[in-house]
């Protein structure tokens, strides 16, 4: 489990490898990740957009930007949490992801919330750092 907190907004990430959607012989590897966003602040927030930086095991970088997450722009009152699951294909057996959400507070001010960096590693392989 990976965790970060920005302005009392907590983001937890749990990645897992999906063997049934992967074909290693064809250099196709697929991970899913479950994200929980918890509002520990004193005001409501809305998730407006997301940004991902995805780096595969060969160092190739892909950037993804878009509105909301999984087609939604959740609003979280103080104490609320929101959970979703999404996925990431790679052509290498390892990689990592890091990103941020753009949020809006109750007064209409926008701010960035960190998504912690997390690794995508094929189960049973030794992790190497380049």
Instruction: For the chain, give the number of residues.
Output: 130
* Assigned domain for 129 exists: no
- Give the model's confidence band at 36: pLDDT under 50 very low, under 70 low, under 90 confident, else very high: very high
* Assigned domain for 130 exists: no
This prediction's pTM: 0.93
- Give the model's confidence band at 127: pLDDT under 50 very low, under 70 low, under 90 confident, else very high: low
Residue-level pLDDT at 123: 85
* Assigned domain for 25 exists: yes
* Assigned domain for 96 exists: yes
- Does 6 score more than 90 pLDDT? yes
User: Contact at 8 Å (CB) between 33 and 85?
Assistant: yes
CA angle 124, 63, 37 (to 5 degrees): 70
> Taking Cα atoms as reference points, which of 28, 30, 39, 11 lies closest to residue 106?
39
User: Contact at 8 Å (CB) between 62 and 120?
Assistant: no
What Rg, from alpha-carbon coordinates, does the chain have?
16
> Taking Cα atoms as reference points, which of 103, 84, 6, 87 lies closest to residue 54?
87
How many C-alpha atoms does 12 have within 13 Å on its Cβ side?
9
128 CB neighbour count, 10 Å cutoff: 8
The count of domains in the chain is 1
CATH number at residue 99: 2.60.40.1470
* Assigned domain for 65 exists: yes
- Does 91 score more than 70 pLDDT? yes
Q: Which domain holds residue 97?
A: 2-121
- Give the model's confidence band at 126: pLDDT under 50 very low, under 70 low, under 90 confident, else very high: low
**Residue range 58-80, pLDDT digits in tens:** 999 999 999 999 999 999 999 99
* Assigned domain for 127 exists: no
Tokens 């701010």 locate to 111
* Residue 121, strand partner residues: 94
Residue-level pLDDT at 128: 53
* Assigned domain for 67 exists: yes
* Assigned domain for 12 exists: yes
User: Contact at 8 Å (CB) between 33 and 50?
Assistant: no
């Amino acid at each position: 489990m990976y965790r970060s907190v920005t302005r009392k907004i907590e983001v937890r990430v749990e990645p897992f490898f999906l063997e049934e959607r992967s074909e290693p012989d064809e250099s196709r590897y697929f991970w899913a990740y479950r994200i929980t966003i918890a509002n520990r602040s004193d005001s409501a927030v809305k998730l407006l957009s997301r940004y991902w930086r995805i780096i595969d095991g060969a160092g190739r970088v892909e950037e993804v930007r878009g509105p909301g997450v999984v087609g939604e722009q959740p609003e979280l009152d103080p104490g609320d949490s929101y959970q979703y699951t999404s996925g990431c294909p790679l052509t290498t057996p390892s990689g990592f992801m890091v990103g941020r959400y753009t949020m809006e507070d109750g007064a209409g001010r926008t701010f960035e919330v960190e998504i912690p960096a997390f690794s995508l590693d094929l189960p049973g392989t030794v992790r190497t750092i380049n």
